[in-house]
Amino acid sequence: MRFLKALLVAVTLAGIPAGFASAAPVPLRDFFKNPAEVSHSLSPDGQWIAYRAPYERRLNIFVRPVKGGEAKRITSETARDIAGFAWKGNDRLIYAKDFGGDENFHIVSVDRNGEGLKDLTPFEKVRAGIVDDLKDHPTDMLISHNKRDAKVFDVYRVNIATGDSKMVAENPGNIVGWLTDHDGKVRVATTTDGVNTSLLYREAEDQPFKTVLTTNFRENVNPEFFTFDNKKLYAISNRGRDKAAVVIFDPATAKEEVIYERQDVDVSSVSYSRKRKVLTASRYVTWKSDYHFFDKEVEALFRDVQAKLPGYEVAIASWNKNEDVFIVGGVNDKTRGKRYLYDTKTKAMTQIADVSPWLVESQLADMKPIQYKSRDGLTIHGYLTLPKGVAAKNLPVVVNPHGGPWYRDNWGFNPEVQFLANRGYAVFQMNFRGSTGYGRKFWEASFKQWGKTMQDDVTDGVQWLIKEGIADPKRIAIYGGSYGGYTTLAGITFTPDLYAAAVDYVGVSNLFTFLNTIPPYWKPYLDMFHEMVGHPEKDKALLTSASPALHADKIKTPLFIAQGAKDPRVNKDESDQMVAAMKKRGVEVEYLVKDNEGHGFRNEENRFEFYEAMEKFLKKHVGT
């Protein structure tokens, strides 16, 4: 009911009265500069807080005592932000770093005092990840990487202090995922032949894997973790149903027991208490994130924090081994929020950080849910963010389709959205067909529909904005990244009269070259890509008709393209050939390339340059 009420409120946005004072301009760099502090994490003993904060314009790891005292910077990365980190015991931390955006992440360990730095995967052109941090082992963890074969990932037991490594699971060539039990034993694997996915299981590490279930990729049984007796699996599954549910999967029989499901949306995750060995909660998203609680203790904690932070979504970010001290946060559509220490014994909540204190909530805009019908009858959900204090009538609009495309937009703080709204644009985001979370049928409706019905969903949303009187039809721009960049190019190619300006950020332009340049570790999924996007030979006509670079003669909309030179997902050639096609016609296109970036700009100075250029470009062609 809350969801329905919210939608009813949303579709009356055009009736918002004028007369409110519009928001003062916020400096562009305030939206896009690195946070003051972020990613706060408690050590297992609860005595230390680690977090990322800027040093030399890059996010590095700092550690400070919970009881107060000076923070110590323990890393000194100056080329790229540290992508993420985790505690390994109370005295050491693990972090990931890549090089120029190539996504070949190395796993690095460092002492809490900043000494003993050790690259655990010091290999060129190799991508590494953590399989299990082995919380109960003082020095070892399980790491996967593709050094032996660029297409597949093996599992190694690595000593984080010495870097000594021993393979514990060799990939035969088709395994795309590994899972350990609660004792850190590798006992589950998932395989793919490109179209069919199999779940492999073994009783012990000295036994061979056996296939217990094979499904077409349209049906997903994603194991999350073992039951607490290490005999069955908790999984997220849409097997035999439209919406993904939380199930207990029995590897002996391949049967499922559904323990939580919804009829409206997928359930996306399930969590548990390591200390008490109970399920705690499952997350799902309607227009906002919400939770189903299995555990009264965690629900009580959540409700208490929620009461202390009215108007915010509660995020439980970290906790100590004893699970009596937590780091919690409150976020919404207008702020990255603050972070607090929460003591379950006293229920005291103490602020430890403000992520971006220079952004003032009262100056920023509300993100409201909307819905509309596609031309073939699908209900499309999305979000509309209006400039603060401005009537929802005849506004310049930036249409902002998400990337993926098998992803979805969510309600929450988005610096791009807030920046554009602050500059006077209405920002329109839509979860077109194929967006995740709405069930299998809605997802499958996107197969082989790039530039077709997926694009129609975007176009139909724009027409809805025009019909409602919200959009000025002469001042509509489109901007997106990755698949959103493809949608941007497709929009100005296949509906050339709809948009007054376009910004393509690391977007696909030619479906043939895109499919031929995917990273080697995506090769096992290539047949699936062919079913979902199209086959270069069998679907040649389809892919030709849907590739903007092959129809650049239709484009008359001013275009700005931004690209990272080291992008492993959308090769730089995708942008190069689009620019070349435009220039061949004598049409100038603005082109920004960064040699030290990949799939999106991560370095602060590059973000500033991109958004400053985009601001000027939009103002010139759409204007506020």
pLDDT tens column, 211-249: 999 999 999 999 999 999 999 999 999 999 999 999 999
In a domain, 422, yes or no: yes
Q: Is 165 in the active site?
A: no
Tokens standing for residue 504: 């393509």
- The catalytically annotated residue of 154, 567, 573, 575 is 567
> Considering the chain, what percentage of its residues have pLDDT values greater than 90?
92
- The catalytically annotated residue of 145, 381, 599, 621 is 599
Per-residue pLDDT averaged across 298-324, rounded? Answer: 95
In a domain, 405, yes or no: yes
Per-residue pLDDT averaged across 259-279, rounded? Answer: 97
**Torsion sign over Cα 145, 574, 398, 10:** negative
In a domain, 572, yes or no: yes
Q: Report the domain count for the chain.
A: 1
- The catalytically annotated residue of 198, 482, 509, 575 is 482
Q: How many residues does the chain have?
A: 624
Mean pLDDT, rounded, of the chain: 93
**Alpha-carbon span 10 to 327, nearest angstrom:** 33
Sheet architecture: strand order including 267-273:
267-273, 278-285, 289-293
In a domain, 408, yes or no: yes
In a domain, 473, yes or no: yes
In a domain, 497, yes or no: yes
Q: Give residue-wise pLDDT tens across range 23-39.
A: 679 999 999 999 999 99
- Reduced to 3 states (helix: H, G, I; strand: E, B; else coil), residue 1 is coil
Using the CB atoms, write b or e for 53-84: b if 16+ within 10 Å.
bbbeebbbbbbbebeeeeeeebbebeebbbbe
Q: Give residue-wise pLDDT tens across range 408-439.
A: 999 999 999 999 999 999 999 999 999 999 99
**Alpha-carbon span 416 to 617, nearest angstrom:** 15
Q: Give residue-wise pLDDT tens across range 492-541.
A: 999 999 999 999 999 999 999 999 998 888 888 899 999 999 999 999 99
CATH number for 546: 3.40.50.1820
In a domain, 471, yes or no: yes
How many Cβ atoms are within 10 Å of 11's Cβ, its own excluded?
Answer: 16
Beta-strand relationship, 379-385 and 233-237: unpaired
In a domain, 511, yes or no: yes
CA 91 to chain centre: 30
Single pTM value for the model: 0.93
Q: Give residue-wise pLDDT tens across range 558-586.
A: 999 999 999 999 999 999 999 999 998 88
For residue 9, the model assigns a pLDDT of 28
For residue 586, the model assigns a pLDDT of 83
For residue 10, the model assigns a pLDDT of 30
Q: Is 482 in the active site?
A: yes
Q: Is 599 in the active site?
A: yes
List, in sequence order, every residue forming a beta bridge with 50; answer none if it has no partner. 41, 63
Per-residue pLDDT averaged across 373-396, rounded? Answer: 97
For residue 18, the model assigns a pLDDT of 31
For residue 24, the model assigns a pLDDT of 79
Domain range enclosing 586: 362-621
